[in-house]
Amino acid sequence: MVKACIFDLDGVIVDTAKYHFIAWRRLANSLGFDFSEEENEKLKGVSRMESLNLILQWGGVEKTEAEKLALTDLKNGWYREYILKMGPEEILEGVVPFLDHLEGLGIRMAVGSSSKNASTILSQIGLTPRFEAVIDGNRITRSKPDPQVFEMGARAMGLPSGECIVFEDAEKGVDAALAGGFLAVGVGSEENLSHAHYVLPNFIGVSLQNILDGIKAKMP
């Protein structure tokens, strides 16, 4: 019996990957190298510091821990310039009708995001009041693929993981949901997310029943 849905934010509710990419690229360029959009894919769902470590590796650049903190602060300042301009028009198509649909069914809702900017983004797009719990990068000590963020979301609602569906666009996010015993629904391409219980391209025209039927059909 599904009682709640836990949503990842970046890539599920809004497409912030494009802003992360611009800001990280600006940082890489300032250090004398560049990276591709393909490499940027590998940063999805990954924490801020882990993202920097990957980017420095791609550029073959070494930095001290103190320098890395300064670099992540610099990047975050640039990234925040973009997210502070976001508005409800940036909510991905189909999301609001799906939230309305879940609300009508009495399904509870939470956000489970690795981002320390999650509350800012939710407030910019006007969706804060929709979620009973928001667990973000400021609250967790272990990043995805560890299930901590989703476990804290389920705990905040007083529900066991088996009664919650997690929606994720990142491979590691799906890993995290599976590791925590959640029903995992991938949002995006089947190619990266085939380990999920079910994959949706987006939320356009989707109902909870569609998802439950899809999960059932994929179960062995």
Write out the catalytic residue numbers: 8, 10
Nearest-angstrom CA–CA distance, 92 and 84: 17
Contact with ligand BG6 (CB under 6 A) among 20, 25, 130, 172 = 20
Query: Which among 48, 50, 51 is positioned nearest to 73, based on CA atoms?
Result: 48
How far apart are CB 12 and ligand BG6 at their closest, in Å?
9
42-50, 59-67, 95-103, 157-165 -> range binding ligand BG6 (CB under 6 A) = 42-50
Task: Indicate whether 172 belongs to the interface with ligand BG6 (CB under 6 A).
Answer: no
Based on the shown chain and the rule CB under 5 A, indicate whether residue 8 belongs to the binding site for Mg ion: yes
Do strands 198-200 and 183-187 pair parallel, antiparallel, or not at all (unpaired)?
Answer: parallel
Q: Which stretch binds Mg ion (CB under 5 A): 91-99, 119-127, 168-176, 192-200?
A: 168-176
β-sheet bridge partners, residue 165: 5, 183
CA pair distance 48, 137, nearest whole angstrom = 9
CB of 123 to Mg ion, least distance (A): 18
| Residue 143 binds: one of ligand BG6, Mg ion, none (C-beta under 5 to 8 A by kind) | none
3-state secondary structure of 168: strand
Q: Report, in Å, the least distance between residue 34 CB and ligand BG6.
A: 18
Q: Rounded to the nearest whole angstrom, what is the least distance from the CB of residue 216 to ligand BG6 in the complex?
A: 29
Binding flag, residue 117, ligand BG6 (CB under 6 A): yes
Which are the contacts of 154, defined by CB distance < 8 A and separation ≥ 6?
4, 6, 110, 160, 161, 163, 164, 180, 182
Kindly provide the residue ranges of all beta strands, DSSP E only, lying in 69-180, ordered along the sequence. 108-112, 133-135, 164-168
CB 99 within 8 A of CB 9: no
Does 176 interact with Mg ion (rule: CB under 5 A)? no
Residue from 25, 47, 187, 206 touching ligand BG6 (CB under 6 A): that is 47
Return the range that interacts with Mg ion (CB under 5 A); candidates 7-15, 35-43, 99-107, 186-194: 7-15
Question: 100: which 2 tokens?
Answer: 């309305």
Please name the helix (run of DSSP H) or strand (run of DSSP E) that holds residue 184, with its range, or none: strand 183-187
Q: Would you count residue 51 as binding ligand BG6 (CB under 6 A)?
A: yes
Interface positions with ligand BG6 (CB under 6 A): 10-11, 20, 43-48, 51, 76, 113-117, 137
